[in-house]
A = this chain, B = another copy of it.
């Protein structure tokens, strides 16, 4: 039976082993003292807790370059996501196959959502169309929205929205780049907490309070 110790996992992930054990303990006591964690069982438990074992039908609205890229993205299927439909407002797109699936017209949005029991929608439309699409999705029963359009969506309570701004990541790189370049001359002006450590995003987040356009 292949096992891992919290120490090994912590080293691999670059975190403290005690925190890792404590986090795991919230899921239950899946480890064996003196041995470690059964890899297969642990993977299953975490997958289940994160919802990876469920099947999540999603629709992608707005099949431009980005929408097409998302439709072709391989990482979705392996995480339990199934692209149920591709939807676009352009009648010329209707029926055209993208990622082995015919694009459908916006007119049928509501029916598609219902028929497939979709609760997660992805918006990859131009900024101008996003809010309207969002409202239709929500009205049709979608309760979680991933927004790639450069707009802030307003939604009723109970609906989750996550906004992906591709340029923010670049922004952060540029910030560090500036640091690298400038730290020879200006070794004084330190901005301690706000934006200093390492990266990634997670269920919760940390945003600098204000970010100018």
A residues neighboring B (CB under 8 Å): 9-10, 13, 15, 19-20, 23, 26-27, 43, 46-47, 49-52, 54, 56, 58, 64-66, 68-70, 72-76, 78-81, 119-120, 122, 143-146, 150, 158, 160, 162-178, 180, 190-213
Residues of B within 8 A of A203 (CB): 172, 175-176, 194-197, 199, 206, 208
Q: What are 25 A-B interface contacts by the 8 Å CB criterion?
A: A15-B209, A23-B209, A43-B212, A50-B171, A50-B175, A51-B174, A52-B171, A56-B177, A65-B68, A66-B66, A78-B213, A79-B167, A80-B174, A120-B170, A144-B176, A144-B177, A146-B169, A162-B172, A162-B200, A169-B201, A195-B202, A200-B201, A200-B206, A200-B207, A203-B208
